[in-house]
Amino acid sequence: MANKFSVRRILILFLLAFGTTSLYSLTYLKSSFYNPMQHVLGLTHIEFGNLFSLYGLTGMFSYFLGGWFADRFSLRNLITFSLIASGSLGFWFATFPPYKTILLIYFLWGITTILTFFAASIKVVRMQGKEKEQGMIFGFFEGLSGVSGTLISFVGLYFFDKFVEVAIGLRYVVWLYSSSSVICGVLLFFLIAHRSSTVDNREPEKKTTFRSMMSVVTMLKAWLIGLIIFSTYVVLSSLTYLSPYLSQVYLVPITMVTALSIIRTYVIKMVASPVAGLVTNKVRSSISVMFIGFIIMTVNCAMFLVIPKDKAFMWFTVVNMVVLSSLVFAFRGIYFASVAESKIPIKTTGSVVGFASFIGFSPDAFYYSLAGYWLDKYGETGYRYIFMLSTACAMLGVLATFLLRQINHREAAVPFPPALTLR
C-alpha cells in the first residue's frame, strides 16, 4: 500500500507540474513567440502591454481571493476545472480572434490560472508530503516543472519550425499547450482525493470562512512569506533583462545569448530546485537556507554594478548570472515550504498562500513597465537601475527570512541547526 501511495504521489506531482507548465505556457506565450504573435494577431506593442497588464492586474486580486477558494472548495474540482478551462480558452485563442476578444481571453485566464488554480495547486503539493518533507516535495515539484518546461518548449518549437506559414505553426503550438492542459486536468480528477486531507491526518478539513480568510491580513508570518516571494520574484524578473544586457554591453552573439537563456530558464531550474529541496530536507529549515541564500544573492546582484563593461569580463558576468539564476530557482522550489515550517494550519494554507502570493507576485503589475521605462529613457544606464532594485530586494529578502526565522525560533523555543544559527 505504501508503494502504491508513493507512486500515486509521484504521478500527482508529475501531472500537476506538467499541467502547470502547459497552462502558464499559454498565458506567457510571448516569452518565446513574441514576434510571431505580433505578426499573426496584428497587435501593436501597446496592445500587447495592455494584454499582460490586464492579466497581471486580474492575477493580483486572484492570488488573494484564490486562497479562500482553495480552503473552501474541493481541490480536485478546482484543479480539474482550471486546467480544462484554461486549455479550452487556449483553443479559442488559437482561432486568432479580434483584439477585444483576446482581452477577454486574458482576463478569463487570470481567473482560471490563478483564482481557481494557483493556491489550490500549492495546497495539493503540500499535501503530498509530511511537514519534514516539505522542502524536498516542493523542490522535486519545481524540478519536474523544469523538466516539463524543457519538453513542451522543444516540442512546441519543433511544431513551429515545421510549418512555413507562421500562423499555422503558432496555432499548432497553442493546440499543443491547450491539449496538454486539458489532458492533465482529466487525469488529475481521478488521482486527487475528493476530500481535502494531509499525509499526517486523513480527517476532512473544516471549511474556511471569508472572515477567517481576511484574518490572514493581520498575520505577520503571511506578510513575511509574501516579502520573501516578492524579493525572489523581482530578482527573477530581472533575469529577463540579462539576455539583452549581455548582447548590448558585452556584444555576445545572439545565438549564444539564446542558448544561455534556455540554460538559465530550464536546465538550471531542473537541477537547482531539487537540490535546494534536498538541502532543506537535510538542514530541516527552508527559511534558514533562504536566509543564507539571500545574503549570497545580494552580493551577486551588486556584482553586476561593479563588473567592468569590457568583453574580457564577459564570462565573469555569465558565471555570476548562472549563480544568481541557480539561487532564484532554488528559492522557487522551497519558498512555499516556509508555510509548513512556520506551523501554518493546513486549513488556512490556501488563504496564507493566496495572500502571500498577492504580495509576492505583485511585480507583474508594475515591474516590466518600470524596467522598460528605465531602458527606453536612460539606455544602458537603465540596467544599473534594474540591478540596484534587485540588490535592494535581495536585502529585503535577508531581512524577511531573518525575522520569520526569529519568530519561529521564539515560538518553538528550540535552537536552529548549529551550522545556520545566528551568532
pLDDT digits (tens, 9 = 90+) for 330-349: 998 788 788 888 888 777 77
Write out the chain's pLDDT in tens, 423 residues: 344 447 888 899 999 999 998 998 898 787 666 667 878 888 776 677 678 778 888 888 888 788 778 878 889 999 999 999 999 999 999 999 999 999 999 999 999 999 999 889 988 988 887 767 776 787 778 778 878 877 887 787 777 777 778 888 889 989 999 999 999 999 999 998 765 444 444 444 555 555 666 677 888 999 999 999 999 999 998 887 887 888 788 887 766 776 677 677 777 877 887 888 888 888 888 899 999 999 999 999 999 999 998 888 888 999 999 999 999 989 987 887 888 888 887 777 777 887 888 899 888 778 877 887 788 788 889 899 999 999 999 999 999 999 999 998 888 765 544 444 333
According to CATH, the topology of domain 208-416 is Growth Hormone; Chain: A; (1.20.1250)
Residue 178 pLDDT: 96
State CA 294 to chain mean position distance.
17
pLDDT by residue (tens digit) across 183-242? 999 999 999 876 544 444 444 455 555 566 667 788 899 999 999 999 999 999 888 788
Q: How far apart are CA 89 and CA 230, in angstroms?
A: 29
pTM attached to this predicted model: 0.73
Residue 49 pLDDT: 67
Which option is the CATH number for 1-195: 1.20.1250.20, 1.10.10.10, 3.30.420.10, 1.10.540.10?
1.20.1250.20
Residue 45 pLDDT: 61
Residue 162 pLDDT: 78
Residue 416 pLDDT: 46
What residue has cell string 535581495?
Answer: 394
Same fold? 1-195, 208-416: yes
3-state SS track over the chain: CHHHHHHHHHHHHHHHHHHHHHHHHHHCCHHHHHHHHHHHHCCCHHHHHHHHHHHHHHHHHHHHHHHHHHHHCCHHHHHHHHHHHHHHHHHHHCCCCCHHHHHHHHHHHHHHHHHCCHHHHHHHHHCCCCHHHHHHHHHHHHHHHHHHHHHHHHHHHHHHHHCCCHHHHHHHHHHHHHHHHHHHHHHHHHHCCCCCCCCCCCCCCCCCCHHHHHHHHHCHHHHHHHHHHHHHHHHHHHHCCHHHHHHHHCCCCHHHHHHHHHHHHHHHHHHHHHHHHHHHHHHCCHHHHHHHHHHHHHHHHHHHHHCCCCHHHHHHHHHHHHHHHHHHHHHHHHCCHHHHHCCCCHHHHHHHHHHHHHHHCHHHHCHHHHHHHHHHHHCCHHHHHHHHHHHHHHHHHHHHHHHHHHHHHHHHCCCCCHHHCCC
Residue 5 pLDDT: 47
- Name the residue ranges covered by the structural domains of the chain: 1-195, 208-416
